[in-house]
Amino acid sequence: MTTAPAPSKEPTVTVPDTSTEVQLLVEPSSLAPRRRMAQSLLRSRELSILAVLLLVIAAATIKNPSFLLSSSGWRDLLLTPSMLILLAVGQAAVIITRNVDLSVGSVLGLTAYLTGRLFIDHPGIPVVVVFAAGLLVGAVLGLVNGLLVALGRVPALVITLGTLYIYRGLVLSWAGSSRINASDLPAGFLALGTQQILTIPVLFLIAVVVLSAVGYYLYTARSGREFYAIGSDPDAAVLYGLNVRRRVIGAFLLSGALAGLAGVVFAARYGSVSSDAGTGIELQAVAAAVIGGVAIFGGSGTVWGAAIGAVLLVTINRALPMLGIPDFWQQALVGALILSAIVLDRVLSARQSRRLVEARDQS
């Protein structure tokens, strides 16, 4: 028996320690609710990305006060990101369910052109109807994506890559080489692009209303929470008996509708629409969501974070020239931001899981 691997000097685990340690780990937090809230807020991704945003704005403003302090500076700060906020909110909802929607740029292009055509072909059409048409067409295109993904059981990446081509092809064949010019659009509609209420641009208000509504829905509705459950663990969601298909279709419908709305906003903001409007913007929307803390494999993050991510992307673009950096470098910076966001997430989660293992191991 000499080769017997001798049990170590304390051969058995002292059981009482195990329990206290395990229970300590899950002991209800002794913090007062208000302090707990403050703490979780401080740790939240939304806040840290907001801090980066404020830093960028501060730096640009110090270099050039008109960046923030002039009336046009303030307006542009809010106006420029409005369109991307809409796209990022929809994209975030889709990514939270562990999917992705690459077709939003094409949807945006389609409804932007549609907006122009409606005004040209039906002079005097109410602006509200045009907005509704943009939403509706976007929703239908999103529904097609959702049905293909949910019923075809095919990765969203492939499906929406396909519909990216198809929808863009529809715009191209519809528009041809013609383009919508500002002169084709009614003045009332164009005014929306610059109009302000209490110094806040109307388009930004639209984006904030949409953001709040979607954020409120995802946070307080049963079906909204199911988005997170599905993205967190799709198999478990099926075991729970959640209606996964319906939620996934819903997410794509939302993303499509918001991209449709963004198309109308595009037309109002820029006045001119060519058939390549919105090309490549899908990756910016994904980037905004990822930077804003939406995990690319779903289950966590908020539309608030995605929206702040969108504002950050656009603002960096505008701030770079102020800071003496040619704005050609903007995209490189965006790439670096995305990479650091995902690497940071990994480092943090690795540290957390190591802490948990160590805590359990001390038992």
Partner 1 sequence: MRHDSIGAASHPTLTLRDVAKSFGPVVALRSGTLVAQPGSIHALVGENGAGKSTLVKIVAGVHRRDAGEFLLGGEPADFGSTAESKAAGVAVIYQEPTLFPDLSVTENIFMGRQLLGRGRRIDRAAMYAEAARLFAGLGVHIDPRRQALGLSIADQQIIEIAKAISLDARLLIMDEPTAALSGVEVERLFAVARRLRDEGRAIVFISHRFDEVFDLCDTVTVMRDGQYIATKPIADTSVEEIVGLMVGREVAELFPKTPAPIGDPVLQVSGLTASGVFHDVTFEVRAGEIVGLAGLVGAGRSEIARAIFGVDRYDSGSVRVKGCEVPPRDPAAAIRAGMAFVPEDRRRQGLVTEASVTDNITGVIRGSLARFGLLTKRMENAAAGPWAGRLEVKTGALDMNAKTMSGGNQQKVVIAKWLATKPTLLIIDEPTRGIDVGTKAEVHRLLSELAGQGMAILMISSELPEVLGMADRVLVVCEGRITADLPRDRATPEAVMHAATHALTGGHHGHPGGHHGHPGGAQDQQAAS
Partner 2 sequence: MTRTYAAYAHPLWRRLLLTREAAVVALVIAVSLWAYSNVPYFGDQLTLTYLLLDVTPILLIALPMTLVIITGEIDLSVASVVGLSSVLLGVLHERGFSIPVAALIALVVGALCGALNGYLVARVGLPSLAVTIGTLALYRGLAIGILGTKAVTDFPSDWTQRASETIGGTGIPAFMWVFLLLAVVFTLALHFSPFGRGVYDIGLGSEAAHFSGVKVERTKFVLFVLSGAVSALAGVFYTLRFGSARGDNAAGLELQVIAAVLLGGVSIFGGRGKLAGVVAGVLLIGIISSALRLQGITVNVINIIIGLLLVLSVISTTVLAWVSDVAARRNRGARPTKTPAGVGTL
| Residue ranges binding partner 1 (CB under 8 A) | 1-9, 11-13, 15-16, 18-19, 22-23, 25-29, 36, 219-222, 225-226, 228-229, 231-233, 235-242, 295, 299-300, 352-353, 356-358, 360-361, 363
Instruction: Region of 179 please: left (phi>0), alpha (psi -120 to 50) or beta.
Output: beta
Convert residues 283-302 into a mask of x (bound to partner 2 by CB under 8 A) and - (unbound): x--xx--x-----xx-----
Q: Quick one: what does residue 358 bind among partner 1, partner 2, none, with the CB cut-off 5 to 8 Å set by partner type?
A: partner 1
Number of residues located near partner 2, criterion CB under 8 A: 48
Cβ atoms of 290 and 342 within 8 Å: the answer is yes
User: Would you count residue 148 as binding partner 2 (CB under 8 A)?
Assistant: yes
> Which of 193, 224 has the CB closer to partner 1?
224
User: Would you count residue 93 as binding partner 2 (CB under 8 A)?
Assistant: no
User: Would you count residue 335 as binding partner 2 (CB under 8 A)?
Assistant: yes
> Which of 167, 252 has the CB closer to partner 2?
167
Cβ atoms of 329 and 307 within 8 Å: the answer is no
What the block records as the tokens of 140 is 């239908």
> What secondary structure, in 3-state letters, does 33-81 show?
HHHHHHHHHHHCHHHHHHHHHHHHHHHHHHHCCHHHHCHHHHHHHHHCC
Output the smallest distance, CB 164 to partner 1, in A. 28
Q: Which secondary-structure segment (H or E) carries 196?
A: strand 196-197
Cβ atoms of 314 and 84 within 8 Å: the answer is yes
Distance of CA 198 to CAs 31, 63, 72, 201, 269, Å? 40, 27, 14, 8, 19
Q: Which secondary-structure segment (H or E) carries 200?
A: strand 200-201
Q: Quick one: what does residue 352 bind among partner 2, partner 1, none, with the CB cut-off 5 to 8 Å set by partner type?
A: partner 1
User: Would you count residue 112 as binding partner 2 (CB under 8 A)?
Assistant: no
User: Would you count residue 155 as binding partner 2 (CB under 8 A)?
Assistant: yes
Which residue of 133, 164, 180, 218 would you call a contact of partner 2, by CB under 8 A? 164
Give CA–CA dist 196/204, Å, rounded: 9
User: Would you count residue 52 as binding partner 2 (CB under 8 A)?
Assistant: no
Residue numbers at the binding site for partner 2 (CB under 8 A): 100, 102, 148, 152-155, 157-159, 161-173, 176, 275, 279-280, 283, 286-287, 290, 296-297, 326, 328-336, 338-339, 342-343, 346
